[in-house]
Structure 1
Amino acid sequence: MGHIEAVCVSREKGELKSPVEGAEFRKDWGIEDDAHAGDWHRQVSLLAGESVDRMRKKMPELSHGMFAENIVTRGIDLCALAVGDRLMVEGGVVLEITQIGKECHNGGCPIQVATGECIMPKEGIFSRVLEGGRVAPGMSISSSSGV
């Protein structure tokens, strides 16, 4: 079992997300007040804090939300998950994995340009909200596959 290190949102697509103290997740919609919410398969994005740590060795100034991730986890192996697996967040929020990875916009995000690498294409996880509720940093998160 892992925990949520950060929750991030943005009002507009294509802009960096900012960490928030918590957010409301709506069933079949995504995160309230986030640009990527809607009736589609990529309502919520996740990235492992361990992946961010690896990139911080190249870019120490990286902060949560710079990869446009909604949730940063710690202690759960997101890369071992498959489409269809579910993540359960303390308090009852349930996310279903719908996509693994996403190509950077316009041939390369600023992080890829600066470091030659971006982790979202291989390590970013996308999901839809099956059960809603409030999510905040510090809450536990676990997967249906036990990873």
Structure 2
Amino acid sequence: MAAVVESVSSSGEHTFSKPVRGSIRLLAGLGVEGDAHLGTTVKHRSRVAVDPTQPNLRQVHLMHAELLEEVALAGFAVAPGQMGENITTRGIDLLGLSRGTVLGFGRARVEVTGLRNPCAQIDGFSQGLLKQMVYRDEQGGLVRRAGVMGVVLAGGLVEPGMAVTVAEPAGAHVPLERV
């Protein structure tokens, strides 16, 4: 199955969920046009409080539709955009990508910087959902499943139905860590 964009979302406000749009425009070095997380420096409120000059490694939030389907089997109804993602994909194991992987959406390019760190707001959206997004595996390792974050290398329009290309970086696989 070819990788595709299933849905796109953005919000100019710092809200947990983002409304689904017909398209979004990615701006190189900045993020999603009109989104509250647009910019070269960090926009996530807790990180701004610590150091507002940090580089914004979270310009674009991506989540795979298969995760939404998986949590639905556990009794949680989550639609695209409701977890705050900008781009919902299908056919890509986003969580298994190497740091530095470049995803292509037409002319637009997004470099994957790391994992989204799930927070308590997820349970505010739907009680118990946080345990689906972050847990300890059998070896005691922390598993984060709330999507990946990236920075925009090349801008362009992204809309549902677009093919997604995946370009892994040269060298050894570097597992994603939280950003």
The secondary structure found in structure 2 opposite 1:140 is: coil
Q: Which of 105, 115, 138 pairs up with 1:100?
A: 115
* Deviation, structure 1 residue 105: 4.0
Whose strand fraction is larger, Structure 1's or Structure 2's? Answer: 1
* Deviation, structure 1 residue 80: 1.5
Q: Which has the larger radius of gyration?
A: 2
- Counterpart position of 1:65: 81
Whole-angstrom distance in 1 between the partners of 2:130 and 2:123: 10
How large is the RMSD of aligned CA atoms in angstroms? 2.1
Where structure 2 has 5 or more consecutive residues not aligned to the other structure, the ranges are: 41-55, 135-143, 170-179
Preserved contact between residue 17 and residue 83 of structure 2 (Cα < 8 Å):
yes
- Counterpart position of 2:63: 47
For 1:126, the aligned partner's letter is: M
Whole-angstrom distance in 2 between the partners of 1:96 and 1:13: 23
* Deviation, structure 1 residue 76: 1.2
**Identity within the alignment, %:** 29
Structure 1 length normalisation: TM-score? 0.87
For 2:152, the aligned partner's letter is: V
- Counterpart position of 1:87: 103
- Map 1:1-147 → 2, pairs under 5 A: 1-39=2-40, 40-59=56-75, 61-89=77-105, 91-105=106-120, 108-111=122-125, 113-115=127-129, 117-119=131-133, 121-145=144-168
Question: Deviation digits for residues 40-69 of structure 1, max 9, x if unmatched?
Answer: 110000000000101122345321111111
Q: How many residues are paired up?
A: 144
Question: Deviation digits for residues 95-132 of structure 1, max 9, x if unmatched?
Answer: 001111313146x5335623452437334100000000
Structure 2 length normalisation: TM-score? 0.73
